[in-house]
């Protein structure tokens, strides 16, 4: 279960797997689910103002008996009720029942009002006041990050983005830019290929790898996220699944396995696995040739992987 901590550019460490509260709703059920995750071994809880369950997350954390220093709390400025950043962080601290959060993110670049530099200056002030230990962003593209860094006195510690094999090629420029500027990438919705896109190209190498290592397919995807150097934000209401997620920290993928997953993921632009599918079909010959090349590459990678598994 060795999901190691990652060193942030703020000087603090962050656990590399987090229990996310998105879509959990609110009420006692949410408290129970966060409590279950903590009991299983999660020590990083990721929430947001727009999830409307900061109070439940905070209650579960308090009832866990863990000291404040033993739990990492991430929440996000979501522009809820039209409130500004300074007011929103106070509301979040009150909801969570804590005096500071470990990581505070701007949930989306569109929420950085009136503009990214001005909003980021307000985030920097929160850190200087000790209300947050680290500050970061979510869903920021390369241009957004460049605009922020142009005037920032304190760089963002993290950028939380959608990341799974079907969008990896699209997100790679963001990942590369973040690495260049010492910004940690956090990945959400990494299990989409299994939960929302079953039967797609990624299934083949993922299931082959799972069989080889005697693990569940979702553990393979989480291990892939880990291999890409990203922090994994995930969730489940099932205790056994949460345990498997933690156990995935033990799984180390080979370069060939990573390449096979990514080659299959590149096929997300074909058929029903991407919103750009129709554009590929209607595109010029160069686009069609590229699509065919990706298909051939994925097939070859899968065959090679299968031979290694059964050889």
275 carries a ligand binding annotation: no
Averaged over 201-227, what is the pLDDT? 97
- Quick check: is 135 in a domain? yes
Domain membership flag for residue 290? no
Of the candidates 33, 7, 5, 2, which has an alpha carbon nearest to the alpha carbon of residue 20?
33
The predicted-structure confidence for 226-273, as pLDDT tens digits, reads as follows 999 999 999 999 999 999 999 999 999 999 999 999 999 999 744 444
Residue 293 clears pLDDT 90, i.e. is over it = no
Task: Read off the pLDDT of each residue in 113-137 and give the average, rounded to a whole number.
Answer: 98
Q: What is the pLDDT of residue 309?
A: 44
Q: How far apart are CA 59 and CA 22, in angstroms?
A: 16
Give domain status of residue 38, yes or no.
Answer: yes
- The enclosing domain of 50 has a CATH number of 3.20.20.100
pLDDT at 278 over 60: no
Taking each helix axis from N to C end, the angle separating 116-128 and 142-149, rounded to the nearest 10 degrees, works out to 60
Q: Please report whether residue 270 resides in a domain.
A: no
Instruction: Look at residue 27 and tell me whether its pLDDT is greater than 60.
Output: yes
Catalytic site residue from 12, 51, 100, 104: 51
- Mean pLDDT of all residues belonging to the chain: 88
Q: Would 245 be classed as within a structural domain?
A: yes
Domain contains 118: yes
Does the structure show a pLDDT above 50 at 155? Answer: yes
Structural domain of residue 72, as residue ranges?
5-200+207-252
What pLDDT is recorded for position 250? 96
In a domain, 119, yes or no: yes
Domain count, the chain: 1
Q: Supply the pLDDT for residue 105.
A: 98
pLDDT exceeds cutoff 50 at 6 = yes
Considering the domain boundaries, does residue 131 fall inside one?
Answer: yes
How far, in Å, CA of 141 to CA of 156, rounded? 13
Identify the pLDDT of residue 294: 39
Average pLDDT over residues 175-194: 97
**Beta pairing, strands 44-46 & 5-7:** unpaired
- Cα 19 to Cα 26: distance, rounded to the nearest angstrom: 15
pLDDT of residue 197: 84
The answer to whether 51 is a known catalytic residue is yes
Of 33, 29, 37, 26, nearest to 66 (Cα)? Answer: 37
What is the distance between the alpha carbons of residues 260 and 288, in angstroms, rounded to a whole number?
21
So what's the pLDDT on residue 81?
82
């Amino acid at each position: 279960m060795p999901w190691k901590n990652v060193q942030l550019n703020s000087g603090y460490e962050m656990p590399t797997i987090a229990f996310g509260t998105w879509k959990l709703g609110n009420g006692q059920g949410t408290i129970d689910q966060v409590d279950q995750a903590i009991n299983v071994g999660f020590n990083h809880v990721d929430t947001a103002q727009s999830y409307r369950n900061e109070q439940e997350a905070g209650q579960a954390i308090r009832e866990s008996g863990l000291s404040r220093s033993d739990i990492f709390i991430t929440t996000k400025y979501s522009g809820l009720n039209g409130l500004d950043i300074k007011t929103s962080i106070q509301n979040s601290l009150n909801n969570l029942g804590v005096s500071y959060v470990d990581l505070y993110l701007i949930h989306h670049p569109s929420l950085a009002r009136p503009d990214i530099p001005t909003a980021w200056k307000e985030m920097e002030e929160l850190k200087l006041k000790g209300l947050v230990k680290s500050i970061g962003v979510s869903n920021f593209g390369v241009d957004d990050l460049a605009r922020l860094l142009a005037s920032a006195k304190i760089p963002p510690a993290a950028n939380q983005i959608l990341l799974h094999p079907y969008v990896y090629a699209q997100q790679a420029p963001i990942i590369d830019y973040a690495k260049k500027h010492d910004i940690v990438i956090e990945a959400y919705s990494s299990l989409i290929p299994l939960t929302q896109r079953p039967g797609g190209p990624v299934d083949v190498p993922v299931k082959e790898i799972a069989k080889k290592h005697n693990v569940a397919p979702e553990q393979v995807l989480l291990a892939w996220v880990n291999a890409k150097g990203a922090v994994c934000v995930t969730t489940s209401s099932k205790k056994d699944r949460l345990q498997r997620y933690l156990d995935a920290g033990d799984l180390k993928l080979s370069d060939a396995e990573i390449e096979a997953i990514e080659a299959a993921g590149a096929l997300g632009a074909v058929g029903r696995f991407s919103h750009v599918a129709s554009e590929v079909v209607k595109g010029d010959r160069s686009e069609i040739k590229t699509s065919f090349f990706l298909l051939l590459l994925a097939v070859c990678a899968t065959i090679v992987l299968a031979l290694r598994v059964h050889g």
